[in-house]
Amino acid sequence: MRAAAACLLALWLSAAAHAAPAQPEAATGYAAKPARSAGRHIAVTANAHATTAALEVLREGGSAVDAAIAAVLVLNVVEPQSSGIGGGGFLLAYDAARAQTLAYDGRERAPMAADEALFLQPDGTPLKFYDAAIGGRAVGVPGLLRMLSRAHERHGTLPWARLFAPAVALARDGFAVSPRLHALIAKDRFLARDAQARALFYRADGAPLAVGATLRNPALAAVLARVAQDGPAAFYTGEIARRIVARVQTDAHPGRLTEADLAAYRARVRAPLCGAYRAHRVCGMPPPSAGGGTVLAMLGLLSRFDLPALRPGSAFTAHLFAEAGRHAFADRDAWYGDPAAMTVSTDELLAPAYLAQRAARIDPAAASADSVAPGHPRAGLPVAAGESPERPSTTHLSIVDARGNAVALTASIEDAFGSRTMVDGFLLNNQLTDFAFSPEGVAGAHPNRAGPGKQPRSSMAPTLVFDADGRLHAVLGSPGGSHIINYVAQTLVGLLDWQMAPDAALAMPRVSNRNRLTEIEARPDGQALADAMAALFGHRSQVRDLTSGLHVIVRDAPGGWVGAADPRREGTVGVD
């Protein structure tokens, strides 16, 4: 009987793997990348051009924030599918002299004309994802440039214009198309529908630009040069703003963005969301990102178990990790959204007594049902259901400068190539699809429903870790949509519980549970892990690509730093 059940489960796992939907930023290869050590400063980004730009700025005496700005602008040029000035992001900045961490919120905002029916059809049913995401309807007010400017005002040491020079040069003179960019252009079903994108990314015969072909983007170079000279106001007002609005409003699926929406955008500085894990202090982004809070919730649930005494990579540790994810995501989906709309606070969701109550529901010997109910941090609160189809097209960079200042920056345009809507050489985001498509829940309105000026929930989780003496210990983050939370939490367990080297922590097979089936990375050791979790604990699993893009820096015992880039993408480590 047991053998027959195992056989049926194996067949189910195989079918589930075959049917798993492709990730927009799909897997394009796996290459082992050894960690690198640094004595002065270190930068880990998603592309060698960006890493080089960051190092050049650091060598000139620039701060970690300066280097991050230069790098993320270059990523707009060479990794346009993932992030850019048409999108937003979150930035954690650690000021070593003040021993202070600040969280910079550059998340997009809904136009003031948006309402909760933004993604509903006339009959009240939700639109399909790509019917909502492609075109102007899903474009939120971009926040990246305002966020970078605000961080530079406080932490920058080099002139603002200097930080744009590498990106302007690459956009103007061109760069060689990477294998990953070529594969994603070739894969995309919607990008060529936009005339500007078609002219930029495809040959005259309609074929995608080949690996090694030179991609020049003079329109983007001109925009970046203008913002370098005149500041972010050149983007949020005037000619560029008018062209953005015209493109959104005249699209076949028009959006509600106005020039007033752009002109009114301001980035916010928030207190980071911090909590204890073992002997360390872990800090992440507060809402509107659910990333920082859900990572801390997972760690809080796992703190009940003696993970340091367990074997890394075992079916038992993967079981505990998946169950922690399942329960933490139940709360994420129910309670997180725009901070002004949340009915419970992060203090309540992360209270030790509440997390202990939730952890007690984890059975060390058996998997829960595929989906568990959210908890109730406060009695009498109605629970609303409102899942959003957050997509995994994002970038992350980690930097530490010679003075010990650090940046963890995660930026995104949401889906691969965003809304597939291009203006002046940059792609506009489709971040509004991170709102819940069905705004009314089981017993009330969801905090992540669309509304005028609201920020959609995110899972981006730039993270800083401090040791028991308050010293900066680690800088990390990842792209990956809602999987980001699991990617970051799993890496923290590897680094803090098992004292793994950063490249070893990144090489572990990814395990993710978002309060549904347990998802396990499709590779030989991943399949074996799925089989063991099914046989020992009853997990129903989906074996699939889990294309993380983790970039990690950890303090080295002799006093320097060691960094690693995820082997699943094309990131690099730069050191001095």
pLDDT in tens, 128-174: 999 999 999 999 999 999 999 999 999 999 999 999 999 999 999 99
Dihedral angle computed from the Cα positions of residues 402, 407, 408 and 414, in that order, rounded to the nearest 10 degrees: -130
Q: What's at 537, amino acid-wise?
A: F
Exposed / middle / buried, residue 85 (Cβ in 10 Å: 0-12, 13-18, 19+): buried
- Residue 187, φ and ψ in degrees, nearest 5: -80, -30
pLDDT classification of 557: cutoffs 50, 70, 90: confident
Which neighbouring-strand residues pair with 284?
A: 273
The better pLDDT of the pair 381, 522 is held by 522
pLDDT in tens, 82-118: 999 999 999 999 999 999 999 999 999 999 999 988 9
Residue 342 lies in a domain: no
- Degrees to nearest 5, angle at CA 114 with 270 and 437: 85
Exposed / middle / buried, residue 130 (Cβ in 10 Å: 0-12, 13-18, 19+): middle
Cβ pair 456, 87 in contact under 8 A: no
Cβ pair 419, 429 in contact under 8 A: yes
pLDDT in tens, 402-417: 999 999 999 999 999 9
Residue 481, Cβ neighbours under 10 Å: how many? 25
Q: Which residues of 11-44 are buried (b: 16+ CB within 10 A; e: fewer)?
A: eebeebbeeeeebbbebbeeeebebbebeebbbb
Residues 106 and 148: their CA atoms lie apart, in Å, by 8
- The answer, yes or no, to whether residue 122 has pLDDT greater than 50, is yes
- The answer, yes or no, to whether residue 341 has pLDDT greater than 60, is yes
pLDDT classification of 31: cutoffs 50, 70, 90: confident
pLDDT classification of 21: cutoffs 50, 70, 90: very low
pLDDT classification of 30: cutoffs 50, 70, 90: confident
Q: What percent of the chain has pLDDT over 90?
A: 86
Question: Strand, coil or helix: what is 441?
Answer: coil
pLDDT in tens, 232-255: 999 999 999 999 999 999 999 999
pTM for this entry: 0.93
CA distances from 39 to 36, 130, 423 (A): 10, 47, 42
Residue 532 lies in a domain: no
Residue 348 lies in a domain: no
- The answer, yes or no, to whether residue 18 has pLDDT greater than 60, is no
pLDDT in tens, 44-97: 999 999 999 999 999 999 999 999 999 999 999 999 999 999 999 999 999 999
The pLDDT value given to residue 17: 31
Residues 100 and 102: their CA atoms lie apart, in Å, by 7
Strands in 280-284's sheet, in edge-to-edge order, are: 36-38, 561-565, 551-555, 472-476, 463-466, 280-284, 273-277
Q: What's at 14, amino acid-wise?
A: S
Residue 77 lies in a domain: yes
What mean pLDDT, rounded, does the chain reach? 92
Residues 492 and 295: their CA atoms lie apart, in Å, by 9
Residue 45 lies in a domain: yes
Q: Give the residue numbers marked as catalytic.
A: 394
Q: What's at 15, amino acid-wise?
A: A
The pLDDT value given to residue 387: 56
Residue 366 lies in a domain: no
- The answer, yes or no, to whether residue 443 has pLDDT greater than 80, is no
pLDDT in tens, 194-204: 999 999 999 99
Residues 568 and 396: their CA atoms lie apart, in Å, by 13
CA distances from 322 to 264, 329, 530 (A): 42, 10, 11
User: Residue 133 is part of which domain span?
Assistant: 41-270+392-439+452-484
Question: Of the candidates 262, 285, 254, which has an alpha carbon nearest to the alpha carbon of residue 89?
Answer: 285
Residue 309 lies in a domain: no
Residues 232 and 236: their CA atoms lie apart, in Å, by 6
Residue 362 lies in a domain: no
Domain count of the chain?
1
